Amino acid sequence: MKSSMIFAMALVIVVIASASAVAVESLTDQIKSLEPIIGSFPPNINNEKEANAVKKRYEAIKTELDTLLVKSPYNKDLLFMRGHLQNLGHNFDYPGALQGATDDLRALLKANPDHIPGIIELANLWVNSDPKLAPNAEQLFRGAQCYYGNQPLEVAQRGVFFALYYQGKMKEAFKQSEYLKKTWPQNAEYERLSEMTRNVLIRANQGTNIAEPTSEKLIMATCAK
């Protein structure tokens, strides 16, 4: 009898865990479905009807995540998901999304400081929110690279460029854009970023000494700079 009760209890735990895993997987898919619409600013929303539909979907997902996090407040996967969702919400100016995403991602990184996706998520949130937060974002992008190791992490290296650019550090941003071009030559976007930054320097009368890519020693951005 006792062993049967233990087995039954274990089965209940497995069922609950499986149900939770299914719920998280479903939420992940739902969040991914929002990314083409509110994954960048300005959001891909054409009218008020679409805006209301997106808001309804967003709120339904967030409510479910809120419920799950009440039960598991330190679950790193759930914190990351809600942080990411609210980062998306910030792109369509959902009230409280910026602070909510910041709180969730900070809580995640306090418990898991080497959580690279969380570091990148918070860095992207800040670099795209306010130029005053660009120095903090730069530190995070560099930190993500340090945790990643000696191989360049493209999302972190690209983030360092934008953090430098938004701080007005154009010479440093130009060098970083050249590093991006050199390291990922197949990505035509980096040529555009390089030319954009070069033109800013020229307009500011700082273009005389802009080095050509072959004459600069281009190194990976890290937390040691």
Residue 27 pLDDT: 92
Same domain flag for 57 and 88: yes
Check whether residue 89 and residue 194 sit in a common domain: no
Does 5 score more than 50 pLDDT?
no
Instruction: pLDDT band for 206, please (50, 70, 90 cuts).
Output: low
Same domain, 61 and 150: no
How is 69-138 classified by DSSP, letter by letter?
Answer: HHH-TT-HHHHHHHHHHHHHHHHTT-TTHHHHHHHHHHHHHHH-TT-HHHHHHHHHHHHTT-GGGHHHHH
pLDDT of amino acid 169: 96
Condensed to tens digits (0 to 9), the pLDDT of residues 35-48 reads 999 999 999 999 99
Is the domain of 100 the same as that of 161? no
Q: What total number of domains does the chain contain?
A: 2
Closest CA to 122 of 101, 92, 142, 145: 101
Cβ–Cβ under 8 Å, residues 101 and 83: yes
Q: Do residue 18 and residue 96 come from a single domain? A: yes
One domain for residues 124 and 102: no
Per-residue tokens: 19: 């149900």
Is the domain of 89 the same as that of 132?
A: no
Q: What share of the chain in percent tops pLDDT 70? A: 84
Does one domain contain both 84 and 129?
no
Residue pair 114/82 in contact by the 8 Å Cβ criterion: no
CA 224, CA 140: separation in Å to the nearest integer?
12
User: What is the extent of the structural domain holding 72?
Assistant: 1-112
Query: Last residue of a domain, which of 87, 112, 137?
Result: 112
Q: Which of 38-52, 106-120, 177-191, 197-211 has the lowest mean pLDDT?
A: 197-211
Domain boundary among 112, 127, 159: 112
What tokens does 111 get?
């418990």
Rounded to an integer, the average pLDDT of 146-155 is 97
